[in-house]
């Protein structure tokens, strides 16, 4: 299991990777930050991009904030390759 740092930018026109600052990935999500919608959109997006089930992605820190720590069952090299 690998932990990755993600900064979520909600209410975007589309869900996409917006770049990287150091070790933190910036991801724009089309959903608003209301009732967990942005988290759900983020998990769905990461599931598609990383080609893993949604159930294997855990938000372990930052449930209600923009800065999140996500845990996924992949190596950091695999993650970086797919998030480029």
**Per-residue model confidence as pLDDT tens digits over 10-53:** 999 999 999 999 999 999 999 999 999 999 999 999 999 999 99
pTM greater than 0.85: yes
CATH number for the domain including 70? Answer: 3.30.1200.10
Per the structure, the count of domains in the chain is 1
Segments forming the whole domain that contains residue 31:
2-82
For residues 64 and 76, give the distance between their C-alpha atoms in angstroms, rounded to a whole number. Answer: 25
Residues 6+ apart with CB under 8 A from 83: 17, 25, 49, 50
């Amino acid at each position: 299991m690998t932990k990755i740092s993600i900064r979520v930018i909600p209410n975007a026109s589309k869900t996409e990777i917006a770049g990287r600052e150091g070790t933190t990935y910036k991801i724009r999500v089309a959903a608003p930050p209301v009732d967990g919608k942005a988290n759900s959109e983020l998990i769905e997006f990461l599931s598609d991009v990383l080609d893993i089930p949604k159930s294997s992605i855990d938000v372990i820190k930052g449930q209600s904030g923009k800065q999140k720590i996500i845990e996924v069952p992949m190596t950091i090299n695999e993650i970086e390759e797919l998030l480029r």
